Structure 1
């Protein structure tokens, strides 16, 4: 379903598509507000006929992932998670990646953080002497080989069969099959000892001890097998799905996903949407998936996952025993995630809208200031005087509303008071007619700056808008008609908000000032080059962006600039090569 701009707003599937679509356009008495809003925006329909229900399910997953329609349930955390990649080479490498492509390699993950991946890779390097170099053309081994961290396939120190045995152990270890790794290492160690290869046997013994030490930290939760246990929790903070990864009967990790668009959907539909989206991009599908409740098309999902895995996948809802406990534990963890999410949202609110409301109370305003504008002046001894205006709405910066001003009335004569009068005059000259009108104006600079700006602001018609001055050193706030400053509590959110606004105004002004100063310096240097006038100077500046890049450019690069001739390009090149700037 598409809106009037051709954007896909919903993707769905059905055995009888005609009846499914008709149901949306019949009486809206039983429709949810979400469906009513969606139908009002539908301007066009497009359909695709597939050969089977499984093909329809796969296509639905792919289209939702690609287009992220507004009215479909979607995984908000659908980002590029890190994976561990085991390459498909004669001597494979192991490294971190965020792209899963069909290149014959094996991918393990996703991991919830890059830190977890790097920790796993460090552990692998300790357990197995894997190669880390990208090319196999070295004449002699590197230091990694001498400290027993690499078998040096680049120098021909190991054959592919021996290296391949180690890679099998790496794959088993990453799958969580530590028991199989131990069994293989013990077998290889015994064979090496029988053949009197004691050095190899000692190396395998050390690997075995390290793997067993890692296994001690893993808790057995089920008898055996690979499983994913999925739990679902909902609250005012949102919807969360938690997945427990169980490999060979051991808990090896977990992950959670925040879901959006399901506020009016039932748990069954939300769970079905999550399972389809999650496993459409999963690098590994276990033999058993444990769910908290039945899916409407559970047999179809199981058939699809079996075809993707290339082996039977069971999708079941356990009623009792250890499996049921796992699902309950996953749901409990999902609920904890939502509680933490609610606390974070509350903390974010306290820092933004809550801080603005608190500031309004301290200033005695009738309501919280929704739009706050702050001005700052920047110059060096009166040269390149600029001003910045930053805007905070709801306690958060709205950078689209930021403005910067190149001041004209005080150029070469440092006078911050006149500078402030000019900038507020330019900003509020037609504010009442054109808007927007702020709820609070902050003048950075204290009482003097405030007194210089107030007459201009009031003359522009902004009679009722509160204006305050902010002293630079201690964040004392000066108010109109009150001699004593307002001192906000030291650890209050309102003080932190004022500091953020002031720092942002200062940063924005300084950035603009530096940009103008850089342009001025560039212009002053280029003025000394014969044949470079105003047009060529501007063309060089626009093309290269900085004086350093112009200095480093060769003649053939300079001559490509619009308006430049070969003699002019040679003049620029020779000037910077023969003269110290």
Structure 2
């Protein structure tokens, strides 16, 4: 607020002040007349060009307990077509509690399938709703306004300040102008991929991103997979004389950091600091402590780390999704008449292998969201005929 005023950005400061006042009024009262005693999430989004901001209000027992925001890269066409669908799948796959109702701003693809999946996660029915009028619509509009201001701030963003904060929090010798972030993606050890993303002066340098197909690790071993990606990255960087980062960020906690630190030491690169950012509680871990570093949850330094971590996840996951899709398209399921790509993905998500699928009965198949009795009979009939 004061920074905006000092720079004579009076209009920006006034708009931000109004939004803060609105949000403050809502959270201070805590009593949500529209949601008496309910557990509910309100999700809204604003997007501009290649970026989007999603804001989530968490209401538990009728009270606002938290607000979260997430910055997304929406360059890929599939994400641009339905960002909310993408976000719901990503966000609710990671958190431990799913509320009974979730308010969203617009119709989405696969609404019924996602509702059934969320209900399975919760263990009870979950309903996705779109407010059309009244206080709920007004609150959704307020959340959208909040998302817009956050996105504007981030796009203008004071990356220099974030880097200065990181230098202080991590006790670095110099400002980390070059940061590399790592993540992996796999489905129970299968089609495993990894990524490294590069941020220069706090901004993504996409031309320097690299992706990896895991070659050395078999089975489920995230630590070993992440270590493989880090090793291959810096073996090549050293061989080709590339600039080394001022620090390394890995997706994970103490275990991931310790595993990758061994690789860094083996390569005589232990002068490069390495940290981990763990999901769920967004905790930062350093090699020399068993306890997380105390970064304020609203600090722009943490926001930058989250952006790097999430970008590494997106890049690794998109490659994993591509490799997995290639396997699906070439699988045994291609021979089943009338079964398309969507149904194939549903089946392989639940059973992971054709052999496991062949052992199922009609009741099990038809309970899969999006399959249904008629399609389950067709699939089972084909599998039975192939066995005989």
Pick the TM interval, shorter chain: 0.3 to 0.5
Report the TM-score when normalising by structure 2: 0.45
Report the TM-score when normalising by structure 1: 0.31
Q: Which has the larger radius of gyration?
A: 1
